[in-house]
Amino acid sequence: MKRFFSCLVQAAAVVFLLAAPARTETLQTTDALGRRVELSLPVRRVACLSSDALEVMRILGAEGLAVAITDTVAHEPGFWGSLSGLPVAGTWQEVDLEMLAAIKPDLILCYAKSPGQELEARLGPLGIAVLRLDFYRPGTLEAEVELLGRVLDRREQARTFLAWHRRAMDQVRSVAAAAPRPTRVYMESYSPFVAFGPGSGGFDLCRLAGGENIAAAMTVPFPQVTPEWVLQNDPDVLIKAVPTPVYGDKGRERMEKALAAMRGRQGWTNMRAMREERVCILSGDLSSGPALAVGAAWLAKWLHPEQARGLDPAALHREYLERFQGVPLRGVFALPGE
Amino acid sequence: MDRAGTIQLFRAHAGRRLAVLAGLLALPLLAAVVSLATGASRYGLADFLDALARSGEARDILLGLRLPRTVMAVLTGCGLAVSGAVCQAVLRNPLASPFTLGVASGAGFGAVAAIILFGAVHNGPVAAGAFAGALGVSLLVLGLARLRDAAGETVILSGVALMYLFSALTSFLQTLGSAEDVHRTVFWFFGNLSKAGWPEAALAAAMILPPLPLLVLRAWDLNLLLHGDETAETLGVNVAGMRGGLVVLASLMTAGAICFTGVIGFIGLVAPHMARLLVGSDHRRLIPASAAVGAALVTGADIAGRSLLAPQVIPIGVVTAFLGVPFFFFLLFARRRRA
């Protein structure tokens, strides 16, 4: 009888060990909204609802973990390659919750504020974690890349990218520091006469590159301004951001048209920036997102051409695309320049 | 009271209304002068002569930027208000305006389609898309109304249905757009007079000004329409033809105004009512009075929008709504009290 009980206990122990799940680790972290988030590691399946986050996954060599994407990625096979063929779970603002529940990823990566928090409310009870990281702001990019490296167990790859990014940003900072005075800039967002104001990514990038944004006194991130106010401020440089995507040949025409439209703005012909032909166009691919160091380098080049002689933004861009994205440099992302 | 006394009273009353009309016509002029004197730069009215005489910064600012903006504000207000007055007359509905006919929704859909489907990055194609959308909706309203003898309620119901349809189509397109595209469509809907230069003002003038004398000439017919279709028909008005023609004309004037500036709401609804309170319902006076009130309102709203949070601009569509909504409520409650 004693022997029978001993066998029973041993059998129960074996069954318990076999039935126990694989060893998991829990990571407690803070997302872009400042909320505490608890994640179960390892993460094997990621639904990526932000193209910036997918770009970072590719930087980390973790794109193979992606199991769902947004329509933005599906529409750009030239840049995204086979990732474009993954199931589309919606757009950057609206997702198919039912589809995500069916795919059952370990983790959903998305922007801080979109889609809405119905994601957590509906999918949290199904055991699907949501991590909100922006990956487009100069002030938070490094911490977010480092965090995703930990979450996806790609710490080394994150360190490699961050070393490259910091080196590029240091170059930009040293150019800005060497400039005798800040260059005055009017930096326009995607809409006509809507500036990048304090709180916008473009504003931060401009300051980083040693630019004195003439919209610095504004109180909103995207203030509407008058052409007369811009003319009165007589900026040294005009920079216009053009919406993404411009990768490939189709972006060239878009960039050139934007440049011609800026140069042809009525009443601005006597503005210093116009007279000195310092009108520049920057693609949204570079003004925000993981490649923003390249955008910052272009700004530094345009704002301080003398001090930035040794800075080669096109080479930086090529390196970023070839080394971290695995694609060649194709298309025009900055004018004048590339 | 004898006949002579009645005639004297009528003349005195008409004289007062003409005096009010003359005063109203001075309003947009005054607003335009203030607009020309207001801006981010140091230049004021005294610098205009200098700007006319020689090239330089004063000329760039006063003649190249401030003057076309003011002209566009006057034209936009005038076009929206007159088309509102015409819609309210031909549809015999005080709440009618080109916006309730779906013209603004059509323009918005056209602009959003140009931005999201065709990747338009500058103003020309976006304005063309807005114009095509507005024109398409007006023709649709007219076509649908003609199927049912162009009765007023059919035109309004068709317009409202199309307004909802095109608003839904716009929302659908926005769900397809990238964050950057949606950003641009949102700012288009706010309205922005900064986009208007001389070429835009000239095109808007070509669409808004020519119908004005024509409408004043048909003022009697518009007056007769207020008494009902049957009365107007009996007195020789081709009601169906006139209603269709005037709805399209009003829509064209609206399209001319908003395709370059974005949506500027409430002027088409509110300005004719303000004018009616001051000069009465006779369209011989109401059309020019509406034009004057509309022009003064939009120009005034632009001055306020540029000045209140300067150098930030409060979008013109927002300011006109701030002015228009309280007045709209006033109208609603005043009508209810009278009822």
Q: What is the DSSP string of A122-180?
A: HHGGGT-EEEE-----TTTHHHHHHHHHHHTT-HHHHHHHHHHHHHHHHHHHHHHHHSS
- Of A80-84, A219-223, B262-266, which has the strongest mean pLDDT? A80-84
Total-model pTM: 0.77
**With an 8 Å Cβ cutoff, is B306 touching chain A?**
yes
Question: Are A192 and B122 a contacting pair at CB < 8 A?
Answer: yes
Q: What is the mean pLDDT of residues A186-196?
A: 92
- Beta carbon pairs, A and B, within 8 Å: 118
Measured between CA atoms, how close is B102 to chain A, in angstroms?
A: 25
Q: What is the mean pLDDT of residues A216-224?
A: 90
Q: Rounded mean pLDDT of A205-215? A: 94
pLDDT of B218 above 60 = yes
pLDDT tens per residue, range B222-259: 898 888 888 888 888 888 788 878 888 888 888 888 88
- By Cβ distance, the residue of B65, B175, B313 closest to A231 is B65
* Residue A124 banded pLDDT, cuts 50, 70, 90: confident
Distance of alpha carbon A301 from alpha carbon A303, whole angstroms: 6
- What ipTM is given for this predicted complex? 0.70
| Contact with chain B for residue A219, Cβ under 8 A | yes
Question: Mean pLDDT over residues B196-217, rounded?
Answer: 90
The residue of chain B nearest to residue A256, with distances taken between CA atoms, is: B121
Determine the pLDDT at residue A12.
Answer: 56
| Interface check B309 vs A, CB under 8 A | yes
* pLDDT for res A81: 94
Do the chains contact at A226 and B119, CB–CB below 8 Å? no
Judging contacts by C-beta atoms under 8 Å, the chain A residues touching residue B56 are 270
Q: Which residues of B touch A258 (CB under 8 A)?
A: 121-122
**A248 touches B: beta carbon within 8 Å:** no
Interface test with A, best of B36, B66, B176, B180 (most A CBs within 10 A): B180
- Per residue in B7-38, pLDDT (tens digit) is 777 777 777 777 878 888 899 999 999 999 99
Give the residue from A63, A135, A178, A181 showing the smallest Cα distance to A293: A135
Please name which of A239, A236, A253, A179 lies closest in space to residue A205, comparing C-alpha atoms. A239
Judged by a CB distance cut-off of 8 A, whether residue A287 touches chain B is no
A261 vs B187: CB contact, 8 Å cut-off?
A: no
Chain A residues with CB-CB distance to B182 below 8 A = 93
CA distances, B177 to each of A51, A91, A94, A134, B130 (Å): 14, 8, 11, 19, 17
Say yes or no to pLDDT of A2 above 80.
no
Least reliable range by pLDDT among A46-55, B118-127, B200-209, B312-321: B118-127
Distances (CA, A) of A125 to A104, A107, A114, B179: 12, 13, 20, 29
Question: What does the pLDDT look like over A272-303, one tens digit per residue?
Answer: 999 999 999 999 888 889 999 999 999 999 99
pLDDT at A16 over 70: no
Distance from CA of A9 to the nearest CA of B (A): 60
Q: Is A71 on the interface with B (CB under 8 A)?
A: yes
Spell out which residues of chain A touch residue B69, defining contact as CB-CB under 8 Å: 226
Q: Is the pLDDT of residue B79 over 80?
A: yes
**pLDDT bucket at A173, cuts 50 / 70 / 90:** very high
Please state, rounded to an integer, the average pLDDT across all residues of chain A: 89
- The overall average pLDDT reported for chain B is 85
What strands lie across the sheet with A129-132, from one edge to the other? A66-68, A46-48, A107-110, A129-132
A189-197: average pLDDT: 90
Indicate yes or no: CB of A243 within 8 angstroms of CB of B181: yes
How confident is residue A5, by pLDDT bands cut at 50, 70 and 90?
low
In this predicted structure, what is the pLDDT of residue A17?
46
Closest Cβ opposite residue B41 in set A92, A194, A232: A232
Whether residue A244 and residue B175 make contact (CB cut-off 8 A), yes or no, is: no
CB contact under 8 A, B40 and A228: yes
Residue B299 has pLDDT above 90, yes or no: yes
Domains of chain B: 57-338 (1.10.3470.10)
Q: What is the pLDDT of residues A45-86, one digit of tens each?
A: 999 999 999 999 999 999 999 999 998 899 889 999 999 999
Through-space distance between the first and last CA atoms of chain A, rounded to whole angstroms: 85
Considering only CB atoms, B123 lies closest to which of A192, A222, A229, namely A192
Of B61, B182, B188, the CB nearest to A267: B61
Which residues from B are below 8 Å from A261, CB to CB? 121-123
Best mutation target, A50, A92, A224, to test chain B (most B CBs within 10 A) = A224
pLDDT at A29: 92
Asked whether residue A23 carries a pLDDT value surpassing 70, the answer given is: no
Q: How far is A84 from chain B (nearest CA, A)?
A: 16
Comparing B189 with A210, the larger pLDDT belongs to A210
Tell me whether residue B169 is exposed, middle or buried, using C-beta atoms within 10 angstroms of its C-beta: 0 to 12, 13 to 18, 19 or more.
middle
Q: Given this model, what pLDDT does residue A228 score?
A: 92
Tokens at residue A102, please? 């069916």
Question: For B140-181, what is each residue's pLDDT tens digit?
Answer: 887 777 776 656 677 788 888 888 999 999 988 887 777 777
Portion of chain A with pLDDT greater than 90, in percent: 62
| pLDDT-wise least confident of A309-323, B263-277, B313-327 | B313-327
* Whether pLDDT at A28 is above 60: yes
Does residue A230 carry a pLDDT above 50? yes
pLDDT at B69: 93
**Two structure tokens written together for A194:** 């809507």
CB contact under 8 A, B184 and A190: yes
Helix, strand or coil for residue A242? strand
In chain A, whose CA is at the least distance from the CA of B193? A226
